[in-house]
């Protein structure tokens, strides 16, 4: 097993209206590991990953990333190390061209001009969008926008890539392209998804969040084969998805 990279201890979070979104989350992730985060709507999945980028502010419990604690003085370093890709790419794309959008992150993290350019070109090549470099993002298809949003995060060289429902609203061909891109990235990944076959293909391990608590933490195929766990957590494989796909 690789070195422990991310550790959450007794992480809890309550929104200002009193809604308790997370309750005593304990989780460890090793360097290079790919973790699926599964669960029904309203389970706390998005709240969990927003904490990884320090977006929700003060923590109850603690998070440690590569021996760096989540404190106010460390948060800019944390945000450089953890690249968060939102569910809606329009939340991340706002510059006149694709290249300018991808360059925005590394510029703000203090990379020099040459690094910004090189990293941005490399990131667009990784997501197979280099030919769209001068296009306005609003002229792209939804799937293309999602790939550019991923590139805009990769350009800052994160050690952990966190994706919120990356296959939502994609046609089958775009979904397949995205899976192949993610499988080829050399980075730790946390993948929040309702797309259980995608989780199986990308993440060897998954957790289930339900009512703000981790209710399962195991190899992805074992979770998907466990009918009681699936039923108890309101999860269901797509119709026609053959169980022999889940053989070890």
| Residue 47: CATH number of its domain | 3.40.50.300
Which residues, 6+ apart, have CB-to-CB distance to 214 below 8 Å?
25, 26, 27, 207, 208
Q: Is 178 part of a structural domain of the chain?
A: yes
> What's the rounded Cα separation, in Å, for the pair 232 and 215?
9
> What's the rounded Cα separation, in Å, for the pair 214 and 202?
20
pLDDT tens figures, 59-114:
788 899 988 888 888 888 888 899 999 999 999 999 999 999 999 999 999 999 99
Q: Is 229 part of a structural domain of the chain?
A: yes
Q: Is 143 part of a structural domain of the chain?
A: yes
Q: Is 217 part of a structural domain of the chain?
A: yes
Tally of structural domains, the chain: 1
Range of the domain at 29: 4-236
Q: How many CB atoms lie within 10 A of CB 180?
A: 12
- Give residue 1's pLDDT: 43
Tokens (6 digits) for 5: 């990279």
Overall pTM surpassing 0.85 (yes/no): yes
Tokens (6 digits) for 34: 């790919």
In order of 83, 90, 161, 197, the CA distances from 32 in angstroms are: 14, 28, 10, 21
Q: Which residue has the tokens 């790939």?
A: 147
Q: Is 51 part of a structural domain of the chain?
A: yes
- Over residues 105-127, the mean pLDDT reads 96
Q: Is 161 part of a structural domain of the chain?
A: yes
- Give residue 60's pLDDT: 84
């Amino acid at each position: 097993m690789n070195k422990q990279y991310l550790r959450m201890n007794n992480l809890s979070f309550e929104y200002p209206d009193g809604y308790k979104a997370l309750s005593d989350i304990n989780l460890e992730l090793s360097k290079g590991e790919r973790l699926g985060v599964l669960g029904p709507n309203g389970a706390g999945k998005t709240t969990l990953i927003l904490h990884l980028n320090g977006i929700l502010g003060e923590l109850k419990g603690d998070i440690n990333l590569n021996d760096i604690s989540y404190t106010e003085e460390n948060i800019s370093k944390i945000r450089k190390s953890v690249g968060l890709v939102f569910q809606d790419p329009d939340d991340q794309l706002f510059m006149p061209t694709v290249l300018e959008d991808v360059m925005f992150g590394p510029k703000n993290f203090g990379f020099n001009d040459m690094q910004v350019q090189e990293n941005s070109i490399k990131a667009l090549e990784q997501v197979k969008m280099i030919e769209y470099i001068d296009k306005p993002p609003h002229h792209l298809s939804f799937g293309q926008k999602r790939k550019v949003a991923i590139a805009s995060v990769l350009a800052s060289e994160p050690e952990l890539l966190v994706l919120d429902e990356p296959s939502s609203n994609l046609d089958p061909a775009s979904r397949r392209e995205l899976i192949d891109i993610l499988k080829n990235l050399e980075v730790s990944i946390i993948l929040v998804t309702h797309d259980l076959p995608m989780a199986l293909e990308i993440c060897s391990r998954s957790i289930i969040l339900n009512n703000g608590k981790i209710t399962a933490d195991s190899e992805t195929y074992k979770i998907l084969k466990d009918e009681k766990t699936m039923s108890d957590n309101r999860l269901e494989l797509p119709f026609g998805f053959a169980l022999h796909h889940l053989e070890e």
